[in-house]
Amino acid sequence: MRDAAGMAVTELAAAIASGELSAVEVTRATLARIAARDGVTHAYLHVDSEGALQAAAQVDRARAQGEKLGVLAGVPIGIKDCMCTRGLPTTCASKILEGYVPPYDAHVVERVRAAGGVIVGKLNMDEFAMGSSNENSAYGTARNPWDSARTPGGSSGGAAAATAEGLAGATLGSDTGGSVRQPASYCGVTAIKPTYGRVSRYGLIAFASSLDQVGPIARNVRDAARMLGVIAGHDPRDATSVTRPVDDYEAECGKDVRGLRVGVVKGATDRGCDPAVVEAFARTQKQLTALGCELVEVELPHQEHALAVYYIIAPAEASSNLARFDGMRYGLRVNGDDLRDTYARTRGAGFGPEVKRRIMLGTYALSAGYYDAFYLKAQKVRTLIKRDFTQAFSRCDVLITPTAPTAAFKFGEKSGDPMSMYMQDIFTLPPSLAGIPAVSVPCGLSPDGLPIGLQICAPELEEKRLVRIGHAFETAIAWNHRPPRFS
Amino acid sequence: MAEYETVIGLEVHAQLTTKSKLFCGCSIEFGAPPNTHVCPVCLGLPGSLPVVNAGAVERAMRAALALGCTVREHSVFARKNYFYPDLAKNYQISQYELPLNENGRLVVEVEGTTREVIIQRIHLEEDAAKNIHGAGSGESTLVDYNRAGTALMEIVSGPDLRSSSEAEEYLKRLREILMCLGVNDGNLEEGSFRCDANVSIRPVGQKKLGTRCELKNINSFRFVRKAIDYEVARQITVVSGGGTIRQETRTWNETQGKTLPMRSKEEAMDYRYFPDPDLPALAVTPEAIEAARAALPELPEAKRARYLAELGLTAADASVLTGHPEIARYFEASVAALLARANKLTRDAAGKRVANFVQSEVLRYAKADGLRVELPVTSDHVAELLALVESGEISGKQAKSVLADVMASGKSPAKVVAEQGLSQVSDTAAIEAAAREVLAANAPNVALYKAGKTNVMGFFVGQVMKAMKGAGNPRLVNEVLQKLLSEAP
């Protein structure tokens, strides 16, 4: 039997559809690999062996009966633990949701199941998706498969690590300010943050509602495109869901990119980038030119405010979104002397320090007398950031930056300094605030042998362009690096 | 002692008559077993999202247009953040800076004085769950989320009312309009029409408003009056004693007959309102607004005027009959049916006859439950019955007993009359024969009559009716007797 862990999603689905592999075999192999390796990587918070084997058996039965199989039939899929899974624990890596089992599936989970995907388990993350290193998980940190002393990134660290190490065919993460792109960059895999509204948020436990999007993490661009095709589309249960029909993303793979105008933000790498990243980014530009792309210098004058804007808007929304975790209806409860005391004790014990910090930041930003100066002002600057992109896209078709200013850093390196941790998101925040789609694809290795990521951004609902150029680039550089201990 | 003027503004929370809640598909049926009309959305489960109920928007817009408001084409839902177990998300989705509707008016009249009340805004919001205190051992509180997420509109008046009677009148008129539009069932007991009052006083002639107190827990028209009267007297006592009014929220305590302090301005919560990122701005097209305006029904005020002008009703009758939309419909259907049956009747006469009969006989048996009214007989039966009276087949007195039989049997009035042989004898020959016999047998009384004692007429009528076993048409009996008495030598 071919090693499922080394196969792409599209290859696996084809092998299962042709009968070369059975879904149950693939699932068993994946579960065995998780058992063998996840003690170190700790990508999973919960593995659902029984459910996965049942789903796989269902795929094999359907195939035996000649039924039409979905595009993910039999492919093992991991789900970040902030997406609701009926009957499976969903904790957001927080103590406050310890033991919580949702009564319903998130929209994206329904879609994955409907496409025949086999859900193997729930993936580690920074608590409530707040963090860039996975160090904020209440259940122990996921580790980078390239170097277990380093972070897999965050907040979808478990999803990126599991994908990189072959602990799932592909995974679903969520991205609020870079949470699929940055860990994908650190783990040498591909992640797409779709246009805001392209993927339904129904069942995604909210961090910052105006920014949150579910995005796929995969070992190559074609796989990511297939995953995006499965989860994208209108959902009447999410009022912010876009109604436009979904494009055929996979069909973009292999298309010509000659003449495509690629915007390079002026001075993009001037701001605290590691030399390795600067070098990889310069090399990338040459490779794109070699592919026939035309490089255009563009400006995003308000980009420098993105971090400040993000750290007002996202915590403000989070402070309200996380108010429901109060010990009254579900999750952790620590009884106190009265109602107020019970609230305080429950939330005091249930939330970790970063979540508390952001709830306080957000509560302050929305307070009477401060609202105009903080939240309202931030919204206005957000509009300017969005306008910058619109103007830039009048001169280019896509726009590139590094995904993160560094490669994966070591645990503890930044955890004492929130600001330096927040700086990891400087490239991923502007597209999030603008609501536009972006992909992170590997673009090389650092001298330490760590992957470096390239971020490509496109105008609203132009995910097709991301797939087209991402796939062409990945093919051109022949990216097939695996973590050293992959096999 | 200075003279004080009372200033009142009212905030009404009216539950909309949608079948489902404001942001999910759960039923809003009242009185279901606790926590049976719930789903991830109204329970605020992690990951759930709200979607606006278009029917609620349409109803709030209907109310707004009837009250002369401007409907905003883009309004915004905002989160009102505070912690309490009756709020599943610990925020309430409401509208804050940009409400759906603004700037309407309602004119009320009390003892001949009219008062124009400005409707500052009408916005949409979700209701909270119901806390049931003192459950179990008596110390715990249970929460029933059936009500959570029910669609409400909040109707905020300006500080334009000047007495508790005006406040009561405003509430009655408002309730009547909302019921007439079918957007609220007016049910005070079930809490679907609730009110808070902002009350202040100021020396007569002063422009600046006094410090206000917000009164809560005044969920009947009677409580509104009592609470406002108490509060005004309390404020006057404080101010005339040299004190100052503290801005605070007070609750009406019916047992003590007092308003009691709940929380002061300093203790007031900072709700940290901000636009709900889960809900895009609510867009209403100008076409939808115009369509809603065009579809507005005749409002109670206009109905009353029409009943007075066209149907000959008194103001009091018109007020009763327009008090509930179903009764008004029933009344008008009965009048139309009666006119169809008794085509010699004028509209005026038909209106009066139906108004009298419906008010004195039918409504006694009517049972109102919100927007539904259970009436004892159909409007067709009312018309048939009154037509039988009109044609002289039965007497007005008999109509009442026929009504009782129609109610009991469900048979048509004509059938009841036929089966019971109640038809009045309108055959003049039969009446004349009986009358002649009565007159012949009572010669002394005839002599008295002729001598001018015309009040013996009643005696003759009674005797004729007795002889005819009550079946004689009283009007004809009268006419025949008069004719015979004037003929006789």
| pLDDT at B428 > cutoff 80 | no
Nearest chain A residue to B88 by CA: give it: A324
Closest to A129 (Cα-Cα) out of A184, A185, A188, A81: A81
Q: A360 contacts in B (CB within 8 Å)? A: none
HSE at residue A314, side-chain half, CA atoms within 13 A, is: 26
- Residues with Cβ within 8 Å of B178's Cβ and at least 6 positions away in sequence, in order, are B14, B63, B184, B186, B193
End-to-end CA distance of chain A: 15
A237 interfacial to chain B (CB closer than 8 Å): yes
Domain boundaries, chain B: 4-291, 298-419, 428-487
Nearest CA in chain A to B44: A324
> Of chain A residues 180-219, which have a CB less than 8 A from chain B?
201-206, 208-210
Q: Cβ contacts of residue A81 below 8 Å, gap of 6+? A: A45, A46, A89, A90, A91, A92, A93, A122, A123, A124, A125, A158
Q: Classify strands A170-175 and A213-218 as parallel, antiparallel or unpaired.
A: antiparallel
Give the pLDDT confidence of B92-107 residue by residue, as tens digits: 999 999 999 999 999 9
Query: What number is the average pLDDT over the span B144-151?
Result: 97
pLDDT at A1: 65
| Cβ of residue A300 closer than 8 Å to a chain B Cβ | no
- Catalytic residue check, A386: no
Query: What is the rounded CA–CA span in Å between residue B364 and residue B405?
Result: 15
Cβ–Cβ gap B277/A210 under 8 Å:
yes
Which pLDDT score, from 0 to 100, does residue B251 have? Answer: 95
Residue A167 burial class via C-beta count within 10 angstroms: exposed 0-12, middle 13-18, buried 19 and up: buried
Instruction: Give pLDDT, residue B489.
Output: 56
Q: Which residues pair with B250 in a beta bridge?
A: B215, B261
β-pairing, A170-175 vs A76-80, is parallel
Active site residue A80: yes
Which of A80, A122, A193, A386 does the annotation list as catalytic? A80
CB-nearest to A103 from B40, B79, B89 is B40
pLDDT, residue B426, reads: 65
A323 at interface of B, judged by CB pairs closer than 8 A: yes
Chain B residues whose CB is inside 8 A of the A106 CB are 47
- Which residue spans within B96-234 are E strands per DSSP? 101-110, 113-126, 130-135, 140-144, 151-157, 193-203, 213-216
- Nearest 5°: the CA angle A134, A136, A141 is 45
Domain ranges for chain A, please list them: 4-255, 304-379
Note whether A269 and A454 are within 8 A (CB). Answer: no
Residue B140 contacts by C-beta under 8 Å, 6 or more apart in sequence? B134
The DSSP 8-state label assigned to residue B218 in this structure reads: -
Chain A residues inside the 8 Å CB shell of B90: 323-324, 326
Peptide bond preceding B409 in cis form (omega within 30 of 0): no
Half-sphere exposure of B86 (CA within 13 A, CB side): 12
Complex confidence, ipTM = 0.96
Angle at alpha carbon of residue B279, lines to A325 and A95, rounded to 5°? 15
Q: Tell me if A326 and B43 make a contact (CB, 8 A cut-off).
A: no
Q: Which of A205, A324, A367 sits opposite B90 (nearest CB)?
A: A324
Q: Are B464 and B477 in contact (CB under 8 A)?
A: yes
Span B393-405, average pLDDT = 87
Chain A residues in contact with B45 (beta carbon < 8 A): 102-104, 329-330
CB nearest to B91's CB, from A84, A316, A323 = A323
CA distances A210 to A379, A433, B359, B470, Å, are 11, 8, 58, 82
Q: A376 vs chain B: nearest CA distance in angstroms?
A: 9
Residues 6+ apart with CB under 8 A from A458: A393, A397, A398, A399, A436, A437, A438, A465, A466
Q: What per-residue confidence (pLDDT) applies to B387?
A: 93
Q: Is the dihedral of CA B31, B34, B36, B40 positive or negative?
A: positive
Q: Any CB–CB contact under 8 A between A326 and chain B?
A: yes
Interface test with A, best of B38, B43, B90, B279 (most A CBs within 10 A): B90
Mutate to test the interface with B, among A204, A319, A328 (most CBs of B within 10 A): A328
pLDDT at B143: 95
pLDDT at B486: 84
Is the CB of residue B422 less than 8 Å from the CB of residue B394?
Answer: yes
Torsion over CA: B187, B193, B199, B205 (sign): negative
Confidence tier at B2 by pLDDT (50, 70, 90) = low
- Whether residue B429 is predicted with pLDDT greater than 80 in this model: the reply is no
DSSP 8-state code for residue B25: -
| Chain A environment of B49 (Cβ under 8 Å) | 201-202, 237-239
CA dihedral over B309, B312, B314, B318, signed as positive or negative: negative
pLDDT at B50 over 90: yes
Confidence of residue B228 (pLDDT cuts 50, 70, 90): very high
CA dist., res. A180 & res. A395, Å (int):
27
Q: Per-residue pLDDT for B470 more than 80? A: no
Rounded mean pLDDT, B405-415: 91
Is A432 considered catalytic here? no
Q: What are all long-range contacts of B317-320, with beta carbons under 8 Å and residues at least 24 apart?
A: B317/B355, B317/B359, B320/B359, B320/B363
User: Per-residue pLDDT for B268 more than 80?
Assistant: no
Say if residue B248's pLDDT is above 90: yes
Q: How far is A478 from chain B (nearest CA, A)?
A: 39
Determine the pLDDT at residue A2. 78
**Out of A100, A343, A367, closest to residue B83 by CB:** A343
Spatial distance between the Cα atoms of A385 and A366, rounded to a whole number of angstroms: 21
Distance (Å, whole) CA A429 – CA A422: 10
Confidence of residue B431 (pLDDT cuts 50, 70, 90): confident
**Amino acid present at B94:** S
Query: CB-CB: which of B48, B89, B279 is closest to A239?
Result: B279
Helices marked H in B199-280 — which ranges? Answer: 221-240
Largest CA distance in chain B: 101
Distance from CA of A373 to the nearest CA of B (A): 13
Cβ pair B51:A323 closer than 8 A = no
Tell me the pLDDT tens digit for each residue of B292-333.
999 999 999 999 999 999 999 999 999 999 999 999 999 999
What is the rounded distance in angstroms from the CA atom of residue B264 to the CA atom of residue B284?
38
Q: What is the structure's pLDDT at A88?
A: 97
Chain B hits for A102, CB-CB cut-off 8 Å, are 40, 45-47
Task: Establish, for the pair of chains A and B, how many residue pairs have beta carbons separated by less than 8 Å.
Answer: 97
Q: Which of A131, A129, A133, A128 is nearest to A144 (CA)?
A: A133
Distances (CA, A) of A133 to A141, A182, A401, B188, B423: 8, 9, 20, 56, 96
Residue for token pair 């879904």: A23
In this prediction, the residues of chain A whose per-residue pLDDT falls under 70 are: 1
**Distance of residue A269 Cα from the nearest chain B Cα, in angstroms:** 32
pLDDT of B1 > 60? The answer is: no
Nearest Cα neighbor of B383 from B426, B332, B346 is B332
How confident is residue B487, by pLDDT bands cut at 50, 70 and 90? Answer: confident
How many whole angstroms from its chain centre is CA A102? 21
Confidence at residue A445, expressed as pLDDT on a 0 to 100 scale: 96
A72, A116 contact by CB (below 8 A): yes
**A366/B contact by beta carbon, under 8 A:** yes
Classify domain A4-255 by CATH number: 3.90.1300.10
Min Cα separation A248/chain B (Å): 27
CATH architecture of B428-487: Orthogonal Bundle (1.10)
pLDDT of amino acid A423? 85
| Nearest beta carbon to residue B49 from set A237, A326, A375 | A237
Catalytic residue among A22, A94, A133, A155: A155
Find residues 56-85 of chain A whose CB sits inside 8 Å of chain B: 83-84
pLDDT in tens, B82-91: 999 999 999 9
Number of neighbours of residue B448 by Cβ within 10 angstroms: 15
Strand A261-265, strand A190-193: pairing: unpaired
